[in-house]
Homo-oligomer: A and B are copies of this chain.
Amino acid sequence: MGSHHVGGPVAGPLAERLRARGLRLTAPRRQVLAAVSELEHATPEVIGARLREEAGPDGAAPDTSTVYRTLELLERLGLVWHTHLGKGAPVYHAAEHPHLHVVCASCGKITSVQPDLLDTAAERLAAELGFTVDVRHVALSGTCRACRERAGSEDQ
């Protein structure tokens, strides 16, 4: 692949926001952001694994602690978001399009749905409690069609 500048349009927003804060553009930061964009709903652990894979047996991948620190930074920069899908690790995704997650408690399947799903609820909360919902962090849990049908036939 292109071996010129590892930058292009993707590095744009990152470099820009880092610079604005006097922070530095480093390999781990580019790598982690790229991994989050490529992988969907990836946990820090998975992101780290992916980077180790890409790095190969000799190349060096960012340390686990760096992955965590970088994810936190990228989130502060508004480039990624995380969601808690239940117990266990949070999942990260690129911040581009806001969307929310629906998780099947039975099979763990994750489905992304449009954020307007919660418009009605958000309006009610705003009106009644003055509470502003952050759609991006929301994960609705429940049972997907497949699991419900399976449960129905096995019933007990």
Contact = CB atoms under 8 A, between A and B. Distances in A.
Interface of A: 84, 86-87, 90, 102, 104-105, 111, 113, 117-118, 120-121, 124-125, 129-134, 137-138, 140-145, 148
B130 A148 contact: yes
The quantity of this chain's copies bound in the complex is: 2
Nearest to A86: B84
A93 B143 CA distance: 21
A92 B117 CA distance: 27
Contact of A131 (B90, B102, B124): B102
Given A84-B84, A121-B120, A125-B113, A142 B133 contact: yes
A120 B124 CA distance: 11
A140 B133 CA distance: 7
**A-B residue pairs, 7 tightest by C-beta:** A130-B145, A133-B142, A137-B141, A120-B120, A134-B142, A132-B143, A132-B142
